[in-house]
Amino acid sequence: MASTTSFQKSQTEGQAHQANKGTELADKAKEAGTGAMDQAKDIAGNAADKARDVASNLGKKAEDATHAVGSGMQSLAGTMREHLPREGVIGSAASTVVGGLEASGRYLEKEGLEGMVHDLTNLIRRNPVPALLIGIGFGFMLARVTMPSRS
């Protein structure tokens, strides 16, 4: 009986030892999983920050390019005004074109891309039905251009 009790006690201690090892392994796995999850969060956060920075830089570059285009349009209008005739039918047409080019250049230089988007948004809000019809028409024309013909 004593040997059976001793054997059972030894077996119970062995099982307890294995259970402790299992618990230790589970704890280590949990720590490793938590570490991996934290590392993944850091990587995702860094990627999101980089994407935000790139988008911000692109937006600034687009805004700067819009202002530069506006300035270039005004410069071109000045050059055209100097070299085109000022009288007659051609002079009148040239004056109209140059005036429109100057006004557009001033608008782009002053408002930039952000101002254009704001103005377009307000225009669509004031005229939703025509804007919708223009959008449908533009979509139809784009589909016709991009779809291969069936001949």
SS3 labels along the chain? CHHHHHHHHHHHHHHHHHHHHHHHHHHHHHHHHHHHHHHHHHHHHHHHHHHHHHHHHHHHHHHHHHHHHHHHHHHHHHHHHHHCCCCHHHHHHHHHHHHHHHHHHHHHHHHHHHHHHHHHHHHHHHCHHHHHHHHHHHHHHHHHHHCCCCC
The answer on pLDDT for 51 being more than 60 is yes
Q: Is residue 19 part of a domain?
A: no
Mean pLDDT lowest among 4-18, 50-64, 86-100, 104-118? 4-18
pLDDT in tens, 95-130: 899 999 999 999 988 888 888 999 999 999 999 999
Q: Is residue 21 part of a domain?
A: no
Q: What is the pLDDT of residue 122?
A: 94
pLDDT band at 43 (very low <50, low <70, confident <90, very high): confident
- Number of domains composing the chain: 1
Q: Is residue 22 part of a domain?
A: no
Q: Is residue 65 part of a domain?
A: yes
With a pLDDT cut of 70, the percent of the chain lying above it is 85
Q: What is the pLDDT of residue 140?
A: 94
Q: Is residue 3 part of a domain?
A: no
Q: Is residue 128 part of a domain?
A: yes
Q: Is residue 49 part of a domain?
A: yes
Domain that holds residue 121: 39-146
Q: Is residue 108 part of a domain?
A: yes
